[in-house]
Amino acid sequence: MTRLGSSSGGTERISPTAHYTGQTWLHHGLSDPALGTSTGRALFYGLAPAQTILSTFGAPTIDGFLLARHQAIDSLLRDAIEDGSVSQVVELACGLSPRGLRFSRHYGERITYVEADLTDMARLKSDRLERAGLVSTTHRVTTVDVLAEDGSECIADVLESLDLDRGTAVITEGLMNYFAQPQAEQVFSRIAAGLSRFPSGLFLSDLFLAGENNNPLAKAFEFCLGVIVRGSVHLYYDDENNVVSAMIESGFTYASAERAVDVLAGTDLRIDPASKLVRIVRATL
């Protein structure tokens, strides 16, 4: 596994969406100021008027979508830690997500939390956390390229650094719709193969489905999302059955893909219409 050196924290090769989502978590009280960036603030407050308009017309908002997917994944991860099936977590493409920080603070030494991203982002995050004194023996940041088949930055390499006797979860958030279907399915297979070495394995991910994003509100929302991610969104799978089949084909033994709104049912969290558009994949083996 590639180790991170220290750096000045240059952000030139980091996707703007990671900064935007980082500021969203901060704005909504889910993150730590150590993970805020000036790029994130500029993007977030620049898009605020558009969000207000979407919200006024009852349309899905980017913020509502981001919060729904984040909190739905939190909820399923918490369940797995509480029922004892998971005590190690790898968050791939972590960006400036505060989940590692929040879960490590809450569960302490009960869990090991590894955050991983491409080199520049991993270095930025590691620097920010270290400077704020927020890393520990059970919470660290490393590099990964989920598209690497092998080598020092592949998924298998990151998973091999963990205790093979403990139940393990892999999370991706805001990643899979960047990849075309064949590429995404290779990533699913790599995750399933990596997790098969542990006594229990859980994969959690958000996913937009092609079959559910064709009404006018969803199209308007997809357009806004496309502007932030510079048009590079790929939608595939028509419905939950297609997702489940793809997960089983990838090597998982059980899978579901509930809408975020259903995962969050019964909580007191604000429900944005966007929470109906995004699915949360939960696959185990």
* Interface residues toward ligand SAM, by CB under 6 A: 15, 17-18, 21, 93-97, 117-118, 121, 144-147, 173-175
Residue 10: partners with Cβ closer than 8 Å, 6 or more residues away: 120, 124
Tokens found for residue 173: 């958030």
Nearer to ligand SAM, 94 or 246 (CB): 94
CA dihedral 174, 179, 185, 191 (to 10 degrees): -40
User: At closest approach, how far in Å is the CB of 253 from ligand SAM?
Assistant: 25
Tokens found for residue 273: 């219409």
CA–CA distance, 237 with 242 (Å, rounded to integer) = 6
User: At closest approach, how far in Å is the CB of 172 from ligand SAM?
Assistant: 7
Nearer to ligand SAM, 82 or 149 (CB): 149
State the Cα angle at 122 between 119 and 128, rounded to 5°.
140
Q: CB neighbours (10 Å) of residue 223?
A: 11
Q: Residue 150 — φ and ψ, nearest 5°?
A: -150, -170
Which residue type occupies 154? C
- Bridge partners (DSSP) of residue 255 are 283
Nearer to ligand SAM, 127 or 145 (CB): 145
User: At closest approach, how far in Å is the CB of 207 from ligand SAM?
Assistant: 13
Q: Helix, strand or coil for residue 64?
A: helix
User: At closest approach, how far in Å is the CB of 84 from ligand SAM?
Assistant: 26
Nearer to ligand SAM, 147 or 235 (CB): 147
User: At closest approach, how far in Å is the CB of 146 from ligand SAM?
Assistant: 4
User: At closest approach, how far in Å is the CB of 212 from ligand SAM?
Assistant: 20
Q: Which residue is nearest to ligand SAM (CB)?
A: 95
Q: Which residue has the tokens 């496309």?
A: 226
Nearer to ligand SAM, 142 or 284 (CB): 142
Tokens found for residue 121: 């982002």
Tokens found for residue 165: 């006797």
CA–CA distance, 7 with 9 (Å, rounded to integer) = 5
User: At closest approach, how far in Å is the CB of 79 from ligand SAM?
Assistant: 20
User: At closest approach, how far in Å is the CB of 91 from ligand SAM?
Assistant: 7
Nearer to ligand SAM, 37 or 87 (CB): 37
Q: List alpha helices for the chain, DSSP H.
A: 16-27, 38-56, 62-82, 99-107, 119-131, 155-160, 181-195, 216-228, 240-250, 260-263
Nearer to ligand SAM, 29 or 216 (CB): 29
Nearer to ligand SAM, 244 or 278 (CB): 278
